Amino acid sequence: MGEITRALISVSDKRGVVEFARRLQDFGVEILSTGGTAKVLMADGVAVQEVGDYTGFPELLEGRLKTLHPKIHGGLLAKRDDSGHTRQMAKHGIPAIDLLCVNLYPFAETIASADCTLEEAIENIDIGGPTMLRAAAKNWEGVTVLVDPDDYAAVLQEMEQSYGGVGASTRFRLATKVFAHTTQYDGAIANYLSSLCPDGSRTTFPQTLSLQFEKAQELRYGENPHQAAAFYRDGSGGGLADAHQLQGKELSYNNIGDGDAAVALVMEFAEPACCVVKHGNPCGAAVGPDLLGAYQRAWAGD
């Protein structure tokens, strides 16, 4: 069980961070922080040591350089059960950092604005954050790493049940989530930069297109009963990606394909519409005064 004695917290999304830090402090955890996060925590009475004071090196370059320091990355990367690492840490005065809580500059939100300039986009490319996250996630056997505020409660609950520790299965799950997050983050940057023209305008289709999908569910079978399949979504929402099955058997690959085709067709109409689909093709479709009427007409047309 990985006991947590020292944590580094540096977040753009400050949702729930004060409560999280306060609970860590209740466990006796020493808290390090940076810039705006440190100010928010200290303003709410949480005892914090700023990273610049911890490393003995001030933040430079308008905040571009603050966490890229051996005392930070050594504390995240050192193997806890490696005597050589332990000796080097002691020699150079590098304490272990057992928990890292970081989320990144809001790059995707920044470039979503029609008024976003290249300069604004560049300044919202996080460097130190992904570097720390990757270091901590690589060393998941010794470090608990959080990138999502929705995971705070689960970590605190596990600490309560384990006298201040977090188990290996949780650390591994959180590390996996980090690499998925940093992949998505870097993909958004590559997509944006490769969409720019020399005059600063943006093309519809970037030269590089990075996509990321998460598994929504495993399916009953693939296109044929002897094949396996799973349903993945990209997070953009809409269609079957946000639907909830109310009854019936687990879905198959063909069910997903037919359902998606039906949804795509009815979304073309403003009035109540219904579509009956078989093997991806509409075999009955209708609009009506209400959903029941549309369904009855579509069924009659099948």
Torsion angles phi and psi, residue 242, rounded to 5: -105, 10
Active-site residue, from 226, 244, 249, 279: 279
Catalytic residue status for 71: no
Catalytic residue status for 279: yes
Helices 168-193 and 128-138: crossing angle, nearest 10°?
150
Helices 17-26 and 35-43: crossing angle, nearest 10°?
70
Contact, 31 vs 21, CB < 8 A? Answer: yes
Contact, 111 vs 19, CB < 8 A? Answer: no
Nearest to 149 by CA among 7, 1, 9: 9
Active-site residue, from 138, 177, 181, 215: 138
Q: How far is CA 95 from the centre of its chain?
A: 28
Q: How many other CB atoms sit within 10 Å of the CB of residue 302?
A: 13
Distances (CA, A) of 181 to 58, 72, 120, 188, 243: 28, 21, 21, 11, 24
- Which two three-digit tokens encode residue 96? 């272990």
Query: Which of the residues are catalytic?
Result: 138, 279
